[in-house]
Amino acid sequence: MNTKLKSSLALLLPLSLVAALTYGCSTKCTMCGSRSTASVPPPVLTPLPPALPAPASQDDKMAWFREAKFGLFIHWGLYCQPAGEWQGKPVAGIGEWIMNRAQIPVSEYSRLATTFNPVQFDAEAWVQMAEDAGMKYIVITSKHHEGFAMYHSLVSPYNIYDATPFHRDPIRELAQACARHGIKFGFYYSQAQDWHEPGGAGNTWDFGPDDAKDKSGAYDKYLQTKAEPQVRELLSNYGPVCLIWFDTPRMMTKERGQRFVDLVHSLQPACLIDGRLGTSGDYVSTGDNVIPNATLDGDWEVPATMNHTWGFKKDDTDWKAPSDVLFKLVDIASKGGNYLLNVGPTSQGIIPLECQSNLLTVGRWLKVNHEAVYGAGRSPFGEEFGDYSTKLKDKNNKPLYLSYTDWRCTSRPGKLYFTIFKLGRDGFELPAFKNEIKRTYLLSDASQTDIPITTTNNVRLVQPPRNSLNAMANVLVVEINGDQVER
Ligand code: JFZ
């Protein structure tokens, strides 16, 4: 659908419907909101671009990541079929852990492959959605703890191409769509836990305790005959891989971790390694959904959910509102990090429509205000983040951190971007700094009309015009003399 038609439709129709029309879906499915069950024909496969050359320095290697700020995480595997329910009963916890939580034997769980046929999968539509949401990279589960490869692996027949009626390689299709859209593409790969393999970590219900697998050599055998060769396939057959997201490093000694590092470096020296391999990577991954309280040096990323699960669960429709996602994105960017935000597609291959719709609302805001986010630097302030309560305690009986959510600041040399989430009745009070102010305007104002500042008792107050404000947030640009803020 062309962009003009899309935007005129957007004025007339509810968002979820626009998303349905735009992103390929028309009888409404109660699970994902999809309006069609028609299958989407597979794309014609064309050659992928070659891997990128070795970067000249760590800064060069990190450059795209520092610019990107916002990525799409995709958890997709066999677990999206049970979708949080086994033998008619809901299973508590995150959806992709159902095999573990319900202690499902491999012999039963693996039968899910025989019915997995996500015929509405449309790589182009997913990547277009990510692009329209303002995301600059995509990281998808190539193999999660369940052990099932979501690509055509020659190492193990337990993969989507060989073991399912779908008989397609969605990772290959996504790699192609990402290349076409200029979106970076990377893989989640569960290197340690593999519940399908006798030597993989984690499946104690079929294969006994992990330490026995470690001692007997079964774990190393698994690493050397499945995990390492599969990582090799992923780095050899899918074009440039921007990063590999290893996870839950059980029994990952330094030596075992180093073998993965060497493999990645030898095949794609520009590929980043996340913070959960077990030996240090190129950046730090925070705990899931954990946003630091203040600015953090170095390169880091917050992996986060749109609801309360990574893999699709039919009973979890508690999607974060666009305003919440936007706040978190700007909050994280202002502290120096990236936001890797997850969606869990259904067994039909659809990203739930309400989830898409919320992301697209964020994308429309970013279309106007991108300058405050991509490649922008940390906040030179800090008092906006919050403070410790003098009365309330957290669960460890330490003073509770109360975060403030009125505004955040990102920066470039000579420019401050105040993203204002709550504008007070009297206007926006600038935090104290010594630099002279050259100009002040709203980023959404193409003519950059200067907004006057009133100073009373050394407090500078900006009063943006109220008529054209965005309901979620507005960015006030303050151009200052000097590259750095002096306080
Ligand atoms: C892991 C996985 O087990 C989970 O299924 C999902 O893929 C998630 C992104 O990563 O879960 C973790 C791993 C590490 C932490 C929390 C959850 N942690 O360090 O806080």
DSSP string, 232-265: HHHHHHSS---EEE----TT--HHHHHHHHHHHH
If we measure between CA atoms, which residue out of 19, 138, 158 comes closest to residue 77? 158
How many other C-beta atoms can be found within 10 angstroms of the C-beta atom of residue 103?
11
Q: Does ligand 1 have an atom closer than 6 angstroms to the CB of 98?
A: no
Q: Is the Cβ atom of 303 under 6 angstroms away from ligand 1?
A: yes
Ligand 1 centroid from CA 441, angstroms: 41
Residue 102 Cα, ligand 1 centroid: separation in angstroms? Answer: 18
Walking along the chain (487 residues) 10 residues at a time, the average pLDDT comes out as: 50 50 58 80 97 98 98 99 98 98 98 98 98 99 99 98 98 98 98 98 98 98 98 98 98 98 98 95 96 98 98 98 98 98 98 98 98 98 97 96 98 98 95 97 97 94 92 98 96
CA-only gyration radius of the chain, Å: 24
CA of 402 to the centre of ligand 1 (A): 25
Ligand 1 contact via 245 beta carbon (within 6 Å): no
Among the atoms of ligand 1, which is closest to the Cα of residue 188?
7
CA of 7 to the centre of ligand 1 (A): 38
**127 forms bridges with which residues in the sheet?**
none
What string of H, E and C letters represents the secondary structure of 39-60? CCCCCCCCCCCCCCCCCCCHHH
Atom of ligand 1 nearest to the CA of 303: 9
Q: Say yes or no: CB of residue 140 within 6 Å of ligand 1.
A: no
How far does the centroid of ligand 1 lie from the alpha carbon of residue 255, in Å? 22
Task: Check pocket membership of 96 for ligand 1, CB cut-off 6 A.
Answer: yes
**SS3 state of residue 190:** coil
Ligand 1: residue whose CA is nearest its atom 18: 287
Q: Which atom of ligand 1 is nearest to the CA of 144?
A: 7
pTM: 0.94
Q: Which of 78, 301, 310 to mutate to test the pocket of ligand 1 (most atoms within 8 A of CB)?
A: 310
Query: Distance from the CA of 247 to the center of ligand 1, in angstroms?
Result: 7
Choose one of 190, 248, 286 to mutate for the ligand 1 pocket test, by most ligand atoms within 8 angstroms of C-beta.
Answer: 248
* 485 close to ligand 1 (CB < 6 Angstrom): no
Q: Tell me the best of 247, 252, 300 to mutate to test the pocket of ligand 1, counting ligand atoms within 8 Å of each CB and taking the most.
A: 247
Indicate which residue's Cα is closest to atom 19 of ligand 1.
Answer: 287
Query: From the CB of 261, is ligand 1 less than 6 Å away?
Result: no
Q: Check if 360 has its Cβ closer than 6 Å to any atom of ligand 1.
A: no
Report CA(114)–ligand 1 centroid distance (Å). 27
Measured distance CA(385)–CA(431) in Å, rounded: 12
Instruction: Verify whether ligand 1 is closer than 6 Å to residue 310 (CB atom).
Output: yes
State the DSSP H helix or E strand holding residue 74, giving kind and residue range, or none if neither.
Answer: strand 70-74
In angstroms, what is the span from residue 365 Cα to ligand 1's centroid?
29
Q: Given ligand 1 and candidates 99, 193, 288, which is best to mutate, with the most ligand atoms within 8 Å of its CB?
A: 288
Atom of ligand 1 nearest to the CA of 193: 3
Helices (H), 155-227: 160-163, 170-181, 204-207, 210-216, 218-222
Own/partner long-range contacts of 304-307 (Cβ < 8 Å, ≥24 apart)? 304/73, 304/328, 304/339, 304/340, 304/341, 304/342, 305/341, 305/342, 306/341, 306/342, 306/343, 306/355, 306/358, 306/359, 307/344, 307/355
Q: Which atom of ligand 1 is nearest to the CA of 94?
A: 5
Pocket lining: 94 vs ligand 1, CB cutoff 6 Å: yes
Using a 6 Å cutoff on CB, does residue 426 contact ligand 1? no
Tokens in use for 239? 């074009």
From ligand 1's centre to the CA of 310, what distance in Å?
9
Determine the distance separating the centroid of ligand 1 and the alpha carbon of 248, expressed in angstroms.
7
Q: Is residue 248 lining ligand 1, measured as CB closer than 6 Å? A: yes
